């Protein structure tokens, strides 16, 4: 069965719009995580950014202590965040690129260009009992480099596919890239997740991508939850994921 990791970053975004810099506020991303678990999520994802624009340090500690499903901590490879990860010990970290000017993560990690640093980070995490995933574009060079770092997982960036969804030709090119990258990664011994820009409308076509273990979805779920509630929004995504053959 294809697993669903629910990203609760944008619950914190809404909180920070009014309560930034305070030690309280609503909505509470930890409460959202618990509701997501009850609705069928098999994991919770949160991105602790350097600028703390949404998720903040206390959220990560509370999530680690409160949720029953695995915590996936998205993070850039910077010393401060690495030390937090090593202290909190989430189930898995997903290493991502990070730019202060971006609204959300715009592309995959350049594993080819940072292979030594990523390998060192993977070793530190593995020694602490933390699994590592690398958020990468569906590029064979990045997949091959990922396999050399010691990471157990990759997460394929589906953003280009999501953006091209309404242009059939471009969409098909992106699907072919995802299929090829997943096959290559599986052959190299990597576990494969995927995420970014996925929603109820574009998710069914992702079923053609083989070897997927988990999808990480956040923005579309939180956006839909504004109108129908978080449990319903999650169940709609789970329905779109149902029947995946792997």
User: So which residues are the catalytic ones?
Assistant: 47, 74, 196
Angle at 95 between CA 93 and CA 99, to 5 degrees: 135
Q: How many CA atoms lie within 13 A of 23 on its CB side?
A: 1
Tell me 205's DSSP state.
G
Greatest Cα pair distance in the chain: 49
Give dist(CA 63, CA 78) in Å, integer. Answer: 21
First to last CA, the chain: 8
Does residue 186 sit in helix, strand or coil? helix
Question: What H or E segment, with its residue span, contains residue 66?
Answer: helix 57-66
Rounded (10°) angle between helices 115-127 and 140-149: 40
Tell me 81's DSSP state.
H
Does residue 107 sit in helix, strand or coil? coil
């Amino acid at each position: 069965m294809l697993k669903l990791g629910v990203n609760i970053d944008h619950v914190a975004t809404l909180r920070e719009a009014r309560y930034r810099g305070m030690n309280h506020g609503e909505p509470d991303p930890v409460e959202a995580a618990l509701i997501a678990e009850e609705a069928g999520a098999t994991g919770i994802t949160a991105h602790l950014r350097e600028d703390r624009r949404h998720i903040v340090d206390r959220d990560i500690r509370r999530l680690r202590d409160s949720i029953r499903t695995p915590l996936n901590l998205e993070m850039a490879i910077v010393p401060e965040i690495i030390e937090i990860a090593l202290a909190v010990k989430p189930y898995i970290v997903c290493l991502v690129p990070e730019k202060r000017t971006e609204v959300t993560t715009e592309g995959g990690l350049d594993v080819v260009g940072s292979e030594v640093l990523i390998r060192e980070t993977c070793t530190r995490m593995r020694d602490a009992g933390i699994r590592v995933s690398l958020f990468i574009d569906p590029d064979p060079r990045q997949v091959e480099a990922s396999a050399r770092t010691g990471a157990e997982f990759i997460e394929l960036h589906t953003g280009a596919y999501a953006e091209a969804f309404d242009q059939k030709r471009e969409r098909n090119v992106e699907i072919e890239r995802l299929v090829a990258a997943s096959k290559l990664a599986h052959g190299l011994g990597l576990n494969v997740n995927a995420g970014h820009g996925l929603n109820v409308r574009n998710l069914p076509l992702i079923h053609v991508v083989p070897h997927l273990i988990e999808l990480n979805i956040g923005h579309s779920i939180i956006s839909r939850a504004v109108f129908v509630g978080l449990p319903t929004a999650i169940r709609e995504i789970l329905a779109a994921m149902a029947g995946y053959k792997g």
